[in-house]
Structure 1
Amino acid sequence: MTHPAWLHVIGIGEDGVEGLSEVAQALIASAELVAGGRRHLLLVEGLMRGERLMWPTRISEGIERMLRWRGRRVVVLASGDPFSFGIGVTLCRHIPVQEMTCIPSPSSIALACARTGWARQDTTVLSICGRPMEVVAPALQPGARLIVLSADGRSPVTLAKWMTARGFGPSVIHVLEALGGPYERHLHMRADALAAGTAETINPLNLMGIEVVAEPGAMILPLSAGLPDDMFAHDGQITKREIRAATLSALAPRQGEMLWDIGGGAGSIAIEWMLRHPANRAVTIERNHDRAARIARNALTLGTPALRIVEGDALETLAALRDRNTPPPDAVFVGGGIGSPGLMEGTWDVLRPGGRLVANAVTLEGEVALLAAHARWGGSLSRMRIERVERIGTQSAFRPAMTVTQYAATRPAA
């Protein structure tokens, strides 16, 4: 049952009640329940007449309590724009949008652009609030302008140290504190200077504007598929750069899609899949414990900390994922164990209709499995051979790597 709009989500800035419209003020004053963080509730202390609910540590518990007031007059307070890294999206997971109205205030992102003079459409926005700072790594492109939402007053110095270690010390970091309020402050300095601890105490309510400048040799992640092999820690079990680029092309990642990577090795395929778009997701299956741990380190270093790593046998893990009602993948890559009986059939069965299967083989047994798959499901078969120059004594020669046979197919729509 859908109720008429009973929930009013109101964005509030550091200027408090004075920055709210008359309509927003009237809604707060007439609300039977006002929910928000401690700071938000203090900003409207003199305006509230009803009950108040301060969000607990687990926001889901607070939403459960708020839902007991469903159909009554309820206000939720949020910082700035509730649908810009705010609570608005979280509320929509529990309440139909038809049951709520939203009155936003200028977001901290909009205020940051106004203070720095940056065009919002040319600025990348990221958050390290509740996320590892490594999510910033793919966006560290020379000349880029970033807005990064902080977790607390330590975030700017911590991020500056991390950036400096990766070769981005000359970048300029603007620390913007308490935007829109009486305690607003704007600091700016090079990342390496901020990392040295020369800044004053920073207000916990802050965000950062970053002008990215790279030193020679900085760890810049290329925007193309096929990262250099030495960007990945590995024990030799890695899909080599040229083959990896061709494999990503065959997998054809699209925004928001899920990949299951079987036989993760160094995790290079899954990591690059996720780097193609921030909304892309991946699960990698690797039976070797040391390699699984290495994949986790690679994912963190290369800015894809959300990569899910599952240790175990490929067929058993596929069955377990299906038993847990995990949504079927949009694409599957098989990079190891192709000759194992039933593996190709198992991967084909988990694919959603219209999903893509790509498998690489270097052994005769693997090629036999790929030929059988091609005969059964169609698709394409190709062979790739890469030669690289190596020293032979005092001279040089091309040395061929192992030939890779690649199978690619799309499961027919149901």
Structure 2
Amino acid sequence: MAEVAPWLTIIGLGEDGPDGLTGASRAALEAAEIVMGPPRHLSLLPDLPGQRVDWPVPFADGLDLLAGFAGRQVVVLASGDPFWFGAGSVIARRFAREEWRAMPGPSVFSLAAAHLGWPLEKVLCLGHHATPLTRLRPHLARGVRVIMTLRDGAAVTELADYLTNLGFGPSQLWVMEALGGPRERVTEVRAGAESEGFDHPVAVAVQVAGEGKALPQASGLDDGVFDSDGVMTKRPVRALTLSALAPKPFERLWDIGGGSGSVGIEWLLSHPSTEAITVEPRADRIGLITANATALGVDRLRVVEGKAPEALADLPTPDAVFIGGGLSVALLDWLYAHVPAGTRLVANAVTLESEAVLIAAHRTRGGSLLRIELSEAAPLGPRTGWKAAYPVVQWSVVL
């Protein structure tokens, strides 16, 4: 079969316009019948024979417009390296691999690291031009270096305020405008200091400092990290629960009986590719779970209001299931009938009734049964004694 020549070329354009392009990129641009891109990128180009088309807003509308040009020689302009927090991957998902080719330029992360002399392999690189700043939360710790893109100049002040409110006010910021172009400007500021206005496109490099609390990398965050109405899986039991659930990259969790959302949130914190769906029957807890997830940087947590198993019917298939509330024989029977073999299931019980359900399930279905008894030192008159918590029975099994 004859090789099909691509009709679409994705070119990474820097702030210096065509001056920074390779010979192949220049040739593709000059030969294009149509050049699509944001107005800012198009304004950097000299006179060219091709028709100029503004990429519309919202971005998704541009994909349909682009598809209409199939078969003609088309160039799409993107910033720097289109496949590093850029438009390249979105376009590539829409079109067959033989239809397009890419000619990337230096990324804003490479330019920023080169300016500061930072080893890029040791720097956290984030795209925050279209995502909330709260996603930065899991990464904040003294000594961390971050380079991130921001949506506009106003977001610089928002970032500085966010860092200050979390106790990282002494952090050093380098605000980088229009890197690599004639308008390039780099301004060094402190997170808690007043700063002047900044213009798009803007990226910020951060040397994190201060006494703010970093999130531990191990399972079992302090209970105080979560807002709660009193119903939540407490830290020691949560650590054992996450260990039994054993999250892995690209896996999805069903968290049944979300409470404060702590188990689903910690599942998501284990790796950026993980997914979690929390099912909670009480409407008054939905906002609480969502707020906890957002505050801890995992707003990708999906929260479903409803009672299991009815609320589970249309959900995407899980790799692991945790039952923290609503345990019943009917729920276990439904899971065994509808969830694929190989799914990991962990259930916790506190009451005698739910404990009996797990003991019976262990007897008939196998798995591992664990009784967790914890005591904490507490005042006992003028002295100190052990105050026991309710024992928790945990059943874990592979369906």
TM-score, normalized by the shorter chain, greater than 0.5: yes
Q: Does structure 2 conserve the Cα–Cα contact (< 8 Å) formed by 1:81 and 1:107?
A: yes
Identity of aligned pairs, percent? 43
CA contact (8 A) 2:252 2:275 kept: yes
Q: Does 1:208 align with 2:204?
A: yes
Q: Which runs of 4+ in 1 moved over 4 A?
A: none
Matched position secondary structure for 2:318 = coil
| CA deviation map 1:55-114 (0-9, x unaligned) | 111222211111122222111111000101111100121112232111111000100110
Give the aligned partner of residue 300 of structure 2. 306
The question of whether the paired residues in 1 share the 8 Å contact of 2:36 and 2:52 is answered with yes
2:196 aligns to what SS in structure 1? coil
TM alignment of 1:39-58, pairs within 5 A? 39-46=40-47, 48-58=48-58
- The amino acid that maps onto 2:320 is A
Quote the residue 2:180 is aligned against: 180
Give 1:128 shift. Answer: 2.0
Aligned to 1:369: 357
d(CA) in 2 for partners of 1:192 and 1:232?
26
TM-score, with normalisation over the residues of structure 1?
0.93
Equivalences for residues 123-202 of structure 1 within 5 A: 123-193=123-193, 198-202=194-198
Other-structure match for 1:394: 382
Structure 1: how far apart are the matches of 2:337 and 2:33? Answer: 53
State the number of aligned residues. Answer: 398
Q: How does 1:224-303 map to 2 (within 5 A)?
A: 224-303=218-297
Residue 12 of structure 1 aligns with an amino acid whose one-letter code is L
Q: Kindly tell me: are residues 350 and 331 of structure 1, through their superposed partners in 2, closer, same or farther at Cα, counting changes over 3 Å? A: farther
TM-score scaled by length of structure 2? 0.96
Check the 8 A contact 1:318/1:346 in 2, yes or no.
no
Deviation for aligned residue 1:352:
3.4
| Alpha-carbon separation, structure 1, partners of 2:176 and 2:334 | 52
Deviation, structure 1 residue 349: 3.9
Q: Which residue of 2 aligns with 1:358?
A: 346
The corresponding residue for 1:334 is 323
Output the amino acid matched with 2:372: M
Distance in 2 of aligned mates of 1:118 and 1:201: 26
For 2:250 and 2:206, locate their aligned partners in 1 and report how far apart those are by CA, in whole Å: 27
CA contact under 8 A between 2:255 and 2:324: conserved in structure 1? Answer: yes
Q: Distance in 2 between matches of 1:281 and 1:10?
A: 32
Query: Offset of 1:315 from its aligned partner?
Result: 1.4
Q: Take 1:314 and 1:19, find their aligned partners in 2: how far apart are those partners?
A: 57
Q: Which runs of 5+ in 1 are unaligned?
A: none
Give the letter for the 1:183 counterpart: R
Aligned to 2:31: 30
Structure 1 vs Structure 2 CA RMSD: 1.5
Distance across 2 between alignment mates of 1:167 and 1:243? 29
Shift of 1:172: 0.7
Q: How far does the alpha carbon of each residue in 1:352-404 deviate from its partner, in whole angstroms, 9 at most, with x for none?
A: 33221111011122122212322343211111111111112222111111111
Q: Report if aligned partners of 2:280, 2:286 keep a CA contact under 8 Å in 1.
A: yes
For the residues of structure 1 that align with 2:78 and 2:13, how far apart are their CA atoms? 6
Deviation string for 1:177-236 (max 9, x for gaps)?
Answer: 11000111111122111xxxx222111211111111122xx2321111100011111121
Structure 2 unaligned residues grouped into runs of 5+: none
Deviation at 1:3, TM superposition (A): 4.9
Q: 1:320: how far off?
A: 3.5
